[in-house]
Amino acid sequence: MTGNEFTLLNAIRKYGLQRHRRIKEITDLSTGYISQTLKVFCDRGWVDDDGITPQGIEALLPYHVDNAVIMAAGMGTHFVPLTLEKPKGLLVVKNEVLIERQIEQLQEAGIKEIIIVLGYKKEAFFYLENKYKGLKIVINPEYNTKNNTHTLYLAQKHIGNSFICSSDDYFEENPFEEYVYRSYYAGVHVDQRANEWYMIPDKRMFISQVKKTGTEGYIMLGHSYWDRSFSRAMTDILNEDHEVGNYDHVIWEQILLENVKDLPSIELKVYPSDIIFEFDTLDDLRKFDSNYVNHTHTKIMRNIARELDCKESDILNFQAIKEGLTNTSFSFEVNGRKYVYRHPGDGTEAIISRTHEKKALELAKSIEVDPTYICMNAEEGWKISRYVEGIRIPDYGSFDDSRRVIAVLKALHDRKLSVDWSFLPWDEACKIEMMLRSESGDIADSQFDQLKDNVFKCYKKCAGDGIEMCFCHCDTYAPNWMLTESETILIDWEYAGNADPGCDIGTYIMDSMWEIPAAERFIKEYCGETMTEEELFHYLAYTAILSYYWYVWALYRESCGAVMGESLYNWNVMARRYSNYLVTNYNL
């Protein structure tokens, strides 16, 4: 069936037999073509005086849409702070839940089977199964480390003649159809440069090229439709890549960009600019839905407005900061000043005392080690800080940077400050190990017991060697430092307390992944000319102890659902490297 034949037959299916002039208005086909083709349809038995026949419906079956796949696994980090409390697809826009509106539009178009792929805060979506018939849920457990290519890989058994949708799209008018002739990607025309993906069509409006940036042209916006041939080709690529992972960290449009000439043809379907909307940031949403200007329905915005004595409408220019190992943060502006909001990670309340952290922050600010601190809620764990422009983190390969770090640590330790709680990494590691074993049973690392024994030998030799505890930061890896031309600032005091100064020295060495000689140079710079052999052993030992602590901590965090990635491996490596070195060279 040709495209024009499909258009005419599908119009008759939807609207019945109309006058030729009316059909022309609906289809944009000429009256001459309509007259001739209707005779052909009658001869084929597709149309009679009552409209489309069962044979006509059968002729359309290859173009019938099987289902829709809605991708809803990601966190939507560009949409902080709203997505820290609920997934983007569940935001209410103009009094409707985004994903519910889309599901209902699909069902209104005759799409009965809808597959939703979930990941971030997946439980929040489960109610949809009871609310809508024909809904199927697929879980993407790796949503935090892989992009939507993995979402589609997991949903591949459902993909045939399928709409591919995002949960956060808003369609002013229903764009979905029960029958679709060929694969397409929705787009709108823009007259100026946009930070979007551009589609370059050929004369027939098939996509011939995809670019990540451009000026005037057609940008990707909204949903796409894959027919069976396109779906087979795409899922073949997804399966071939599954073991290699080249596309793990990109969106599926990257596959289209790199393979558009080899994939089956896909059309550019142009929509008016006032039909399809995607909201990249809260500022974008505010322009579309005025309800979000003064009230965003989030505790986070209420916290900021209360603490900074401003209106929610004064809080602007949100930007996600790379998610940390423990927390997620974003920057924002109020009355021209820039701040950072820290949101605590799930599960951290079991291993971090926020009351202690708040006291540590107040103490660190009072001695000007961390002048960025503004306020913190000890019950809920959130924090607001001053944003510092033009910062960088220390370069582990620069000894000049190491000297700047050491100068701050010496000044902190030499004050001999004290608080009424302690950080004891060996004891804390043992507690976390017990929590881990109670929840997960045996630890998968077959050499764990040997590692623990070696680290304990290092810890035991350090006990009573004369190095006194003092107020320490205890989490001194490079991302917790902010270096400017004139300042060296130490931030994030979650693990601070009375501790062995080796906690601060050992953590920095641990994260650097230095070999022993580089660590010894760092320790000698810290201790000075009078460094003893006992001091050198002590700080090397604490590198092993802290590495072990963070390794056990990472195992626990993963048991809570966090993805620790390479960090878990690195801490394991450093704990083994330093404990093995000390056990061997000091005959422990």
Domain ranges (residues) in the chain: 3-62, 67-278, 298-387, 392-585
CATH no. of 392-585: 3.90.1200.10
The pLDDT of residue 122: 94
Residue 546: name the closest of 583, 495, 507, 516 by CA.
507
Residue 473 to residues 74, 124, 230, 507: CA-CA distances in angstroms? 33, 37, 55, 10
Is 298-387 CATH 2.40.50.100?
no
pTM: 0.74
How confident is the model over 295-305, as pLDDT tens digits? Answer: 777 889 999 99
Q: Where are the alpha helices (DSSP H) in 45-164?
A: 54-60, 82-85, 98-108, 127-131, 148-154
Strands (E), 365-520: 373-376, 383-386, 470-472, 481-483, 488-490, 497-499
Quickly state the pLDDT bin for 323 (edges 50, 70, 90). Answer: low
Average pLDDT, stretch 197-209?
95
Q: What torsion, rounded to 10 degrees, do the Cα atoms 401, 404, 406, 407 define?
A: 170
Asked whether 56 and 10 are in contact (CB, 8 A), the reply is no
In angstroms, the CA 190 to CA 214 distance is 10
Q: Identify the pLDDT of residue 442.
A: 77
CB 364 within 8 A of CB 504: no
When computed from its CA atoms, the radius of gyration of the chain, rounded to whole angstroms, is: 30
pLDDT in tens, 487-544: 999 999 998 999 999 999 999 999 999 999 999 999 999 999 999 999 999 999 999 9
Q: Which of 81-95, 247-261, 373-387, 397-411 bottoms out in mean pLDDT, i.e. has the lowest?
A: 81-95
pLDDT band (50, 70, 90) for residue 237 = very high
254-297 per-position pLDDT tens digit: 999 999 999 999 999 999 989 999 888 888 888 888 888 777 77
Q: Could you give the angle at the alpha carbon of 149 between the alpha carbons of 143 and 153, nearest 5°?
A: 90
Higher-confidence residue of 398 and 564: namely 398
Among 278, 500, 522, smallest CA distance to 399 is for: 522
Query: In the CATH hierarchy, which fold is given to the domain comprising 67-278?
Result: Spore Coat Polysaccharide Biosynthesis Protein SpsA; Chain A (3.90.550)
Q: What is the pLDDT of residue 439?
A: 76
Give the pLDDT score at 212: 87
Q: Which CATH number fits domain 3-62: 3.60.21.10, 3.40.50.1100, 1.10.10.10, 2.60.120.260?
A: 1.10.10.10
CA-to-CA dists, residue 351 to 16, 111, 207, 237, 555, angstroms:
67, 47, 52, 43, 13
444-to-389, 436, 555, 579 alpha-carbon distances in Å:
43, 11, 10, 20
CA neighbours closer than 13 Å in the CB half-sphere of residue 576: 12
| pLDDT, position 349 | 62
pLDDT tens per residue, range 54-63: 999 999 999 9
pLDDT (0 to 100) of residue 350: 64
Q: Is the pLDDT of residue 11 over 70?
A: yes
Range 35-42 average pLDDT: 94
**Mean pLDDT over all residues of the chain?**
92
- Work out the percent of the chain whose per-residue pLDDT is above 70: 98
Q: What is the pLDDT of residues 173-185, one digit of tens each?
A: 999 999 999 999 9
- Give the model confidence (pLDDT) of 416-465 as tens digits: 899 999 999 999 999 999 998 887 777 878 899 999 999 999 999 998 89
CA–CA separation, 400 vs 450, rounded Å?
A: 37
- In whole angstroms, give the CA distance from residue 304 to residue 310: 8
Higher per-residue confidence, 49 vs 158: 158
Judged against a pLDDT cut of 90, whether residue 125 lies above it is answered with yes
